[in-house]
Amino acid sequence: MKRIEYPSPAQWQKLVQRPSIKKENLFALVDKVFTDVQSSGDEALRKYSREFDRADLKRIEIPMETARKMAESLPSELKQAIETAKNNVEKFHLSQRETPQKIETAKGVLCWRESRAIEKVGIYIPGGSAPLFSTVLMLAVPAKIAGCKEIILCSPPDAGGNIHPAILFAAVLVGVTRIFAVGGIQAIGAMVFGTESVPKVDKIFGPGNQYVMAAKQAAQLQGAAIDMPAGPSEVLIIADKSCVPAFVAADLLSQAEHGADSQVVLLSDNNSVINEICDEIKVQLQQLPRKEIADKALANSTAILLGDMASCIAFSNVYAPEHLILAVENAESVIGEISNAGSVFLGNFSCESAGDYASGTNHTLPTSGFAKAYSGVSLDSFIKKITFQRLSAEGLKTIGAAIETMAGAEQLEAHKNAVSLRLKQINKLEK
């Protein structure tokens, strides 16, 4: 990790920049793949699976019965762990249901709002070297609670064209309706345009690398909604002298091992704390099977010494991390000062891995500074809010004059007339 001491606030904006591929190269590739998928459908999916994933797709869709059989090979201990996590995720997201509240805004004017599920959603599950079966729970569980009729899952295939059995087990467990062995930009394109095999969806969910994130952003220009720009994983940890350096090092490495383009940031007001944590990172790194990936991520990461805890929190709000860990004394006392973060972990025992897997909160979170404007995935992500209003004759009389005056001032006479005609009818009936 790079070490920086006491940077001025004027330098912070440069320090919060994430490592990235040149945007013009990213979007040029996305445009090419999207064009091919739109014109060639399944043929393009097979072509790019060979090119990007080195997978020869004999079948694009994995039938649910096949998925069940393939999932049987999973160890019972892992199945039980997934079921435990699923139950906790379900409890947390069930608590987010809302009861419609009807409000009389004026006498005779009743307004309320109701939720309706997005009918067809697509969930993207990263695969490759780290099959993120936990993301199936984070996306499909709230989709089922919301009442989505179709849940389409896409995930990169291995060389044999198969999806990891843990992803399949989780998909079957939570009620995914269809599964497709296709990943990367081409998977996003398939869900945007639809192909002979993959249906077009209304909204696309899921994390991914910078290629997937760019594809999701481009999807919006094609009329598909997305959850958020969720790209390479990141964590920022604020640590003071009360932290356990080994714990902090482990949390930093847990994000660094996601991918070479991940980023981890350590902030502290104590130089000795930073030294101890960096020493722990060196020891723990050597024990990791993915140490080469983690090492590359650490090369793009930073340990920053600041003057006090207030400066650490202020820097964090500028960075707007996906995951924020407060390894500080009385962590809950500073919650009110946190304005920008995807998910926050309080104290020495609240490891980020808990949120990734089994605490119940959602791990699909905004990255790359988007936590300044986006929230993580929740039940609300899978529903639309529809407003309703019912006006009685008395209600229209109550607000009718205001509507006529405003419509007239905007020179929208048809709007004004829609009210005037009704008011005349009401007056006639009342005579």
Q: What is the pLDDT of residues 418-427, one digit of tens each?
A: 999 999 999 9
Q: Is the same domain home to 182 and 295?
A: no
Kindly state whether residues 8 and 72 are assigned to the same domain.
Answer: no
Q: What is the CA radius of gyration of the chain?
A: 25
Angle, helix 133-146 to helix 76-94, in steps of 10 degrees: 40
346 and 246 within one domain: yes
Of the residues 360, 379, 406, which one is the last residue of a structural domain?
A: 360
Residues 85 and 121 in one domain: yes
Q: Which amino acid is at 128?
A: G
Active site residue 258: no
Which of residues 315, 345, 360 is at a domain's end? 360
Q: Clarify whether residues 351 and 215 are in a common domain.
A: no
The answer to whether residues 80 and 204 belong to one domain is: yes
Tell me, what CATH number does 133's domain have? 3.40.50.1980
- If you average pLDDT over each of 16-25, 208-217, 403-412, which comes out highest? 403-412
pLDDT tens-place string over residues 10-55: 999 999 998 766 677 889 999 999 999 999 999 999 999 999 989 9
Q: Which domain holds residue 397?
A: 392-430
Would you say residue 376 lies in a domain? no
Do residues 154 and 289 share a domain? no
Same domain? For 244 and 218 the reply is no
| Same domain? 63 vs 126 | yes
In angstroms, rounded to a whole number, what is the distance separating the alpha carbons of residues 302 and 7?
A: 12
Phi and psi for 391 in degrees, rounded to 5? -110, 130
Question: Is 164 part of the annotated catalytic residue set?
Answer: no
Question: Which pLDDT value is given to residue 154?
Answer: 98
- The pLDDT tens digits for 297-329 are 999 899 999 999 999 999 999 999 999 999 999
108 within domain boundaries: no
Q: Is residue 402 part of a domain?
A: yes
Q: Is the residue at 174 inside a domain?
A: yes
Shortest CA distance to 121 belongs to which of 140, 97, 102? Answer: 140
**149 and 49 within one domain:** yes
Q: What is the pLDDT of residues 54-111, one digit of tens each?
A: 998 889 999 999 999 999 999 999 999 999 999 999 999 999 999 999 999 999 999 9
Q: Say what the pLDDT of residue 72 is.
A: 94
With respect to residue 382, please indicate whether it lies within any of the assigned structural domains. Answer: no
pLDDT at 129: 67
Backbone angles phi, psi at 354, to 5 degrees: -60, -45
**Residue 288 lies inside a defined structural domain of this protein:** yes
Residues 186 and 79 in one domain: yes
Q: 258 — phi, psi (to 5°)?
A: -60, -45
Q: Which of 224-233, 304-313, 328-337, 405-414 has the lowest mean pLDDT?
A: 224-233
**Structure token digits, residue 203:** 């909204």
pLDDT at 296 over 80: yes
pLDDT higher than 80, residue 396: yes
- Are 229 and 213 in contact by the 8 Å Cβ rule? The answer is yes
**pLDDT classification of 259: cutoffs 50, 70, 90:** confident
Domain count, the chain: 3
Q: At what angle do helices 165-174 and 64-71 cross, to 10 degrees?
A: 120
What is the CATH number for 426? 1.20.5.1300
167 and 42 inside one domain: yes
Out of 164, 323, 352, 363, the active site residue is 323
The residue from 202, 228, 254 where one domain ends is: 228
Q: Is residue 60 part of a domain?
A: yes
Active-site residue, selected from the candidate residues 93, 322, 352, 363: 322
**Residue 386 in domain:** no
